[in-house]
Amino acid sequence: MHLRTFQSRAISYRTSMLKRYLQQMKIIHGKMASPEGLEYRCMPRPWQDRRREWRNAAYRKATGESFDGEVVEIGGVDEMKKAQEENKKFLEKTPAEALSWRWSVTKMANYLVNTYKDEAACRDPDNFDMYIDMYFAGYGLQEVIENQLVAFHEEYKKENCDPHRLFVRMEAMAIWLFTSDLCYWTGLDDGARVSATMDIIGRALLTSLNALERADLLGPFSKVKNIPMVLSMFLDFADDEEGTTAMQFDMNGDESPQTWPYFVVAYINAHGIDIEGKGLYGIDSIADGYDDEEVADFEDLEPGPDQWGFNAAFETFATYWGVFSGQSNEYDIVAMEPEKRIEYAFDRQDPLDRMDPDHLIH
C-alpha cells in the first residue's frame, strides 16, 4: 500500500473512533444530567456475593458435628434455581417496593457499569483470538479504571457539583470492581501503579462521602439508597484477598499502609450506616478489621469540600502516570488500526471482520 494512502486511512480511522467516543460521551452526559438518572431500581444479587454465602454454608456443613463425609456442593442445582427465582422476583421493583432486598442501583450507575464491562472486554486480547503480550489485558483494565477516575475528577471540578451524582460515579465503580475479574490488573508487572491507583480510588471515595456529608445525605434515611452496599464493596476491594500487598504502599510508592478503609468505617459508624444488614454477606468481619479510631483521626484534616486533598492528589497521580483528560483508548482493540489487529491475531486476519461483518463498529 502506498504510504500516503495508508496515512489517509489511518487518519480517517482515528477520526471515526473520535466521533464514536464523542457520541458515547454525549449519551453519558445526557443521562447523567437527567432526573431519571438518579432513580433507583432493584438489581440482581451479585453472583460473587451468593458464592461467598454458599461457601460459608458448605464450610459449616463440612466442619459440623453431623458431617458424615458426603460431598459438600457449593451452589448446587437447588441453590441456583432459588437464586434465579429470587432475582426475577425483585428485578423490576423499586427499593420502596422491596424493603427487604438490599441490592439497588441508579439507572445512571447501571448504564455506567455496563459501559465499563464493554470497555474492559474491548481490551482483552482473549476475546479477539489475539496475543499481544502477557500484561496487555491488565493494562487495559488499568486504562478503564483511570478513565473512571478522570470522569470522577471532571464531575468533581464542576462549579455546582451535585453530591449525589458524584457518588453515582463511585457507585458504578464499586459494582464494576466487585463483579469483575481483576486478576490481570492485580498481577501487573507495575505494582507501584496498582498501589497508587488503589490509593487514589480511596481518596475519591472519601471525597464523595465528604460531599454527601456536607449535603446531609449520609445516614439511614438518605435519598441515596445504596450507601451500605457501595461501601461494603469498596471495603471488600481493599481487603486484598489475593495477597497482592498493593494496599501496603501509598501513592508515592512508599511502604506505608493505606488508611482510607479505616476512614470509610469511621463514616459508617458516625452516621449509623447499616453495613451489616444492607451490605455484602459477611462484610462485618472485614469492617471490624478497619474499625480503629486511632488510625481514622479526623482532627488533622482541614474541613471543606476538598477535605481529602483529592484535586492535588489526582493531579500528582495524573502527571506521574501520564493520565490525561478525556477517555484514553490506547488499549482498546476495537480502536486499533486494522493492520495492528491483523499483526497480533492468531490467524493473521482482522478479528473484527469476523465479529462485526456489517462493520457497525469498525
pLDDT number for residue 181: 94
Contact criterion met (CB below 8 Å) for 227 and 109 = no
Contact criterion met (CB below 8 Å) for 270 and 213 = no
Q: What is the C-alpha separation between 138 and 145, in angstroms, rounded?
A: 11
**Between 35 and 297, residue with greater pLDDT:** 297
How does 17-48 read in b/e, with b if 16+ C-beta sit within 10 Å?
beeeeeeeeeebeeebeeeebbebbbbbbbee
Q: Is the pLDDT of residue 130 over 60?
A: yes
For 236-293, the pLDDT digits (tens) are 999 965 567 889 988 888 888 999 999 999 999 999 999 999 999 999 999 999 999 8
Contact criterion met (CB below 8 Å) for 90 and 101 = yes
Q: DSSP letters of 108-163?
A: HHHHHHHHHHHHHHTT-GGGGTB---TTHHHHHHHHHHHHHHHHHHHHHTSTT--H
pLDDT number for residue 122: 95
The pLDDT-based confidence of 10 (bands split at 50, 70, 90) is: very low
pLDDT number for residue 6: 41
Tell me the one-letter amino acid at 279: G
pLDDT number for residue 321: 94
Q: Is the pLDDT of residue 112 over 90?
A: yes
Q: Is the pLDDT of residue 45 over 70?
A: yes
Provide the CB-side half-sphere exposure for 330 (13 A, CA). 14
Highest-scoring range by mean pLDDT, 68-72, 121-125, 242-246, 254-258: 121-125
Measured CA angle at 30 (ends 27, 31), to 5 deg: 90
Please list the residues that pair with 41 across neighbouring strands.
105
- Over range 192-213, report the average pLDDT: 97
Q: What is the C-alpha separation between 310 and 160, in angstroms, rounded?
A: 17
The pLDDT-based confidence of 3 (bands split at 50, 70, 90) is: very low
The pLDDT-based confidence of 14 (bands split at 50, 70, 90) is: very low
- Over range 194-219, report the average pLDDT: 96
Highest-scoring range by mean pLDDT, 50-54, 162-166, 324-328: 162-166
Measured CA angle at 78 (ends 73, 80), to 5 deg: 85
- Over range 111-131, report the average pLDDT: 96
Calculate what percentage of the chain has a pLDDT beyond 90: 64
Domain boundaries, the chain: 107-331
Q: What is the C-alpha separation between 168 and 156, in angstroms, rounded?
A: 12
Mean of all residue pLDDT scores within the chain: 87
- Over range 122-132, report the average pLDDT: 96
Q: Is the pLDDT of residue 187 over 70?
A: yes
